Amino acid sequence: MAGTVFVSGGSGYIAGFLIRQLVAEGWIVHTTIRNLAREGQVRESLGVDNSRVKFFAADLTSDAGWDEAMAGCSHVAHLASPLPTDAPSHEDELIVPARDGALRALRAARAAGIKRFVMTSSMAAVAYGHGGAKTRFTEADWTNIDSPDAYAYVKSKTIAERAARDWVAAEGGDMEFCTVNPVLVLGPLQSADFSTSLEAIKKMLEGSLPGLPRFGFGVVDVRDVADMHLRCLTAPDMAGERFLCSGPFLWMREIAEILRAGLGDQARKVPRRGLPDWLVRVSAWFDPVVRQVIGELGHERDADTGHALAKLGWKARPVEETVLDTARDMIRLGIVKV
């Protein structure tokens, strides 16, 4: 099955892999970027047949451009959402574009007669604010945004997914809506313009971390995330569905071991020693980026992906391949000097 599909945020890391997979499967893609001045650069990084992808300008914070971009499409993959490296000065800098942008995309989709709307949500909308004792999560879980654990990005993804589901229940009509909820996305890179999710690997490889804090993440490969989106666009009966998209949970210590085992001398700057929790907590007083994620310290958040396997036939590739492909591309593209 193929037709014309709308993908928001064509300059994004996951969107790039999704657009390449869609074009390979025969789809025509309409995609948005904030400013058409970047079209040439994004096309070059996509590296697909130019005639299969059409670019439109649209911003999550404005109504302009969405209707025009969705005209003629039957399916939507809504990926655009702010994912900054630094902590925002106010949480609304993330919450407002994430929530209002999703609602703009939904309204335009209904006006265009879209059949299926796939939204990229996150494990951030699932696994936060439950206390340290709960370590395994399913699609039934929702983040508690009133918890101190829920920082600005976590709130933005939770509020946006909830708002989208509420809107679909009230106004969505026949349009089928589902979400893909990935954990930390790693994997190969198409260009040196990389997503915030890859920062931890960069810091480990370049030796800019004094040691390994007890932070950990569920890790999933960008190729597998794109593949889950494709399955959600095409599989039957997707109305209301929600899919956790995850490989295994890895502590930073385990990621460091994979890097050392696979890269040899190129991993010589990867720290070996652990950082004690008290030191990480002290550094959070001075560093707003650490402060924002301090609630993650020592927390294990495992995703049960049984539903994705049963309903979509989806499963993640071996995580060693994902971690090492990330690192090799960072070295190849000169993002890190090892």
User: 79 vs 238, which CB is nearer to ligand NAP?
Assistant: 79
Considering only residues 153 to 172 of the shown chain, the ones binding ligand NAP according to CB under 6 A are 157
Residue 80 in contact with ligand NAP, rule: CB under 6 A: yes
Site mask for ligand NAP (CB under 6 A), range 191-230, x = bound: ----x-x---------------------------------
**Cα–Cα distance for residue pair 222/48, rounded to 1 Å:** 18
Q: Residue 270: CB partners within 8 Å, gap ≥ 6?
A: 204, 205, 207, 256, 259, 260
Q: How remote is the C-alpha of 16 from its chain's centroid?
A: 12
Q: Of 45-53, 78-86, 137-145, 231-239, which part binds ligand NAP (CB under 6 A)?
A: 78-86
**Cα–Cα distance for residue pair 74/109, rounded to 1 Å:** 9
Considering only residues 2 to 61 of the shown chain, the ones binding ligand NAP according to CB under 6 A are 9, 11-15, 34, 59-61
User: 120 vs 322, which CB is nearer to ligand NAP?
Assistant: 120
The one catalytic residue in 115, 134, 157, 311 is 157
Per DSSP, the residues of 93-147 read HHHHHHHHHHHHHHHHHHHHT-SEEEEE--GGGTSSSS-TT--EE-TT----TTS
Nearest to 237 by CA among 181, 176, 169: 176
Per DSSP, the residues of 195-246 read -GGGHHHHHHHHT-SSSB-S-EEEEEEHHHHHHHHHHHHHSS--TT-EEEE-
CB of 292 to ligand NAP, least distance (A): 15
**Cα–Cα distance for residue pair 309/333, rounded to 1 Å:** 34
Query: Is residue 178 within 8 Å of 238, Cβ to Cβ?
Result: yes
User: 35 vs 51, which CB is nearer to ligand NAP?
Assistant: 35
CB of 245 to ligand NAP, least distance (A): 8
Residue 82 in contact with ligand NAP, rule: CB under 6 A: yes
User: 189 vs 258, which CB is nearer to ligand NAP?
Assistant: 189
User: 202 vs 269, which CB is nearer to ligand NAP?
Assistant: 202
Neighbours of 41 (CB within 10 A): 13
Q: Is 269 a catalytic residue?
A: no
- Considering CB under 6 A, how many residues would be counted as binding ligand NAP? 24
Of the candidate residues 29, 70, 76, 79, the single one contacting ligand NAP (CB under 6 A): 79
Residues at the contact surface with ligand NAP, assessed by CB under 6 A = 9, 11-15, 34, 59-61, 79-83, 97, 120, 122, 157, 182, 184-185, 195, 197
Q: Which residues are catalytic?
A: 157
